[in-house]
Amino acid sequence: MKLVFATHNKNKFKEVKSLMPAHIELLSLTDIGCFEEIAETAKTIEGNAVLKANYIKERYDFDCFADDTGLEVEALNNEPGVYSARYAGPDNNAEANIAKLLTRLAGKSNRKARFKTAIALTYKTDDVLFLGVCDGTITSEKKGEEGFGYDPVFQPDGASETFAEMSQSQKNEIGHRGKAIRQLIDYLSE
């Protein structure tokens, strides 16, 4: 089975591909010749995932799925949320996003946060939405070299390390994207 993952993010593609069973051939946007940025104009993470999946289905006629992920920080009224990738500006700069987040949390004792991934699947005649959530806290400083985005400052509940200190397999086991992808795989295996 061929399935397009509607992302330009090489790190995210690699993370998701490592979870896919052998019978699913995962294609990237580059593989199908889609080089444009797909606008994420919805007001929710779920809405952005649906927008991207529908864009690929309508323009390229491939079965596909798209995700959107957001970090929701309780003390910041669930910011950055849908704006996670562009929190510090439109250029999706992870270092600037982390710096802004840590500055906004300075002096706050409540550092509860959660990562949420929504995956929208357009497959044959079905449109399905999957949701994965990982609760944790924001550390006061960056730790670790693995992962991407906010991984160096997000420590999942029950873990002693940030996502950036974990191996890819550890992160996939407990993380938001891994949870949502496993739901997707289960659905496709039915």
Task: Tell me if 162 sits within 8 A of 143, measured CB to CB.
Answer: yes
Q: Report residue 99: phi and psi, to 5°.
A: -60, -45
Q: Report residue 51: phi and psi, to 5°.
A: -55, -45
Determine the Cα–Cα distance for residues 123 and 26; give it in Å rounded to an integer.
Answer: 14
Active site residue 31: no
Task: Tell me if 154 sits within 8 A of 95, measured CB to CB.
Answer: no
Spell 105-114 as b/e; 16+ CB within 10 A means b.
beeeeebebb
Dihedral of the alpha carbons of 7, 9, 12, 14, in degrees to the nearest 10: 100
Instruction: Given the residues 31, 61, 63, 68, select the one marked as catalytic.
Output: 68
Catalytic residues, which ones?
68
